[in-house]
Amino acid sequence: MKILVTGANGMLGQDLCPALEDAGYTVIGASREILDITDKDNVKQVISDVLPNIIIHCAAYTNVEKAESEQNKAMLTNAEGTKYIAEACAEWDIPLVYISTDYVFDGSKTTPYKVTDKPNPINFYGMSKLRGEEFVKQYCSKYHIIRTSWLYGHHGKNFVETMLALKDKDEIRVVDDQIGSPTWTMDLSEAIVKIIKMPYGIYHASGEGETSWYGFAREILGADSNLIPCRSEEYKTEAKRPAYSVLENSFPCRNWKAALKDYMALRIEEETV
C-alpha cells in the first residue's frame, strides 16, 4: 500500500511519514521541491508517475497572519493547489485525505463544533482552507477531510516553542479569550493512521479538552511564570481569530495536557542527547 504525502517537510508531515511507515505503508514524502502543488502540470506528472493508493495532503500556506495581506498566495496554495490534487485524484481514482482546520468556523458557538456544523470562516486562511475542502468534495468521491486545531510538534515553528523562547521576559501577554484545543502532531499522526481506514467523510481530530492561549501558555511555562492574560482587542493582529474553535472529536483523542507533558519530556530528552 503506497501513500503519497504532500508537504512532507512541514511540521505535521515530518511526524506523519514515520507514523505511516510504522503502520506498514510505503511512504513517498513529497516536499515542495518535488511536488509544488500550485503547479498543475507538476501535480499531474508526480501523481501519474507515483500512482499511490492514497494521497494525504498536508501541504498548505499556514501563516494565518500573513494570509490577510498575501490573499492570492494563500488562495493559490490552499484552494487552487488542493483543486489540482483533487482533480488528479479523481482522474486516477485515488482516495484523498485533506488536512483542514478549526479556523473554518466563526467561533460563535460555545460548545464543540460538530462535523455537521456549517463553516463560516472569519479570516482569509480559514476561507482558503474551506475553499480547499469544497474542491475536495466537488472533485473526489473518495475523501477524508480531517479538521484539526492548534498544532505543535518537534519539526516546526509553533506556540509551545514561541512561549519557551520568551520565558525569560519580564512580562508575557497572552490572549485569554480565544478558546481551542492544542494538538500534538504525533497524536494527530496516530489519528490519521486510524482515520484512513474508516469510512469516507469529514472527521474532527484534536487534543481532547479545551483551554485559552493563556491557559496553554501557563501549562507550558508553569503557574509562576511572568504570564499576563489579556483580551484579543489589546493584542492587535491582522487576522481575526474565532473566539471558540473547539472541535467535537470524531473518536476519543488524548487529553491536550497529557500530550503536552509527553512533548515537553521528549524535548528535554532530545536536548540532553
Ligand X SMILES: NC(=O)c1ccc[n+]([C@@H]2O[C@H](COP(=O)([O-])OP(=O)(O)OC[C@H]3O[C@@H](n4cnc5c(N)ncnc54)[C@H](OP(=O)(O)O)[C@@H]3O)[C@@H](O)[C@H]2O)c1
Active site residues: 125
**Residue with Cβ nearer ligand X (58 or 217):** 58
Query: Does residue 11 touch ligand X according to CB under 6 A?
Result: yes
Closest C-alpha to 246, from 149, 175, 128? 149
**Residue with Cβ nearer ligand X (10 or 119):** 10
Please report the DSSP string for the chain in residue order. Answer: -EEEEETTTSHHHHHHHHHHHHTT-EEEEE-TTT--TT-HHHHHHHHHHH--SEEEE------TTGGGT-HHHHHIIIIIIHHHHHHHHHHHT--EEEEEEGGGS-S--SSPBPTTSPP--SSHHHHHHHHHHHHHHHH-SSEEEEEE-SEE-TTS--HHHHHHHHTTSS-EEEESS-EE--EEHHHHHHHHHHHTTSPSEEEE---BS-EEHHHHHHHHH-TTS-EEEE-GGGS--SS---SB--B--SS---BHHHHHHHHHHHHHHHHH-
Query: Does residue 150 touch ligand X according to CB under 6 A?
Result: yes
**Residue with Cβ nearer ligand X (154 or 267):** 154
Interface region with ligand X, contact rule CB under 6 A, candidates 32-40, 108-116, 226-234, 264-272: 32-40
Interface region with ligand X, contact rule CB under 6 A, candidates 18-26, 56-64, 192-200, 246-254: 56-64
- Binding-site member from 149, 181, 211, 250 for ligand X (CB under 6 A): 149
Query: Does residue 253 touch ligand X according to CB under 6 A?
Result: no
**Cα–Cα–Cα angle for 70, 10, 212, rounded to 5 degrees:** 75
* Minimum gap (Å) between residue 170 Cβ and ligand X: 28
Question: Residues 178, 229: contact at Cβ < 8 Å?
Answer: no
Interface region with ligand X, contact rule CB under 6 A, candidates 8-16, 108-116, 218-226, 229-237: 8-16
Query: Does residue 38 touch ligand X according to CB under 6 A?
Result: yes
* Minimum gap (Å) between residue 38 Cβ and ligand X: 4
- Binding-site member from 27, 56, 94, 99 for ligand X (CB under 6 A): 99
Q: Could you give the string, one character per residue 203-242, with x where binding to ligand X holds by CB under 6 A and - elsewhere?
A: ----------------------------------------
* C-beta nearest to ligand X: residue: 10
* Minimum gap (Å) between residue 224 Cβ and ligand X: 27
Residues that bind ligand X (CB under 6 A): 7, 9-13, 32, 35-38, 58-62, 77, 81, 99, 101, 129, 148-151, 156
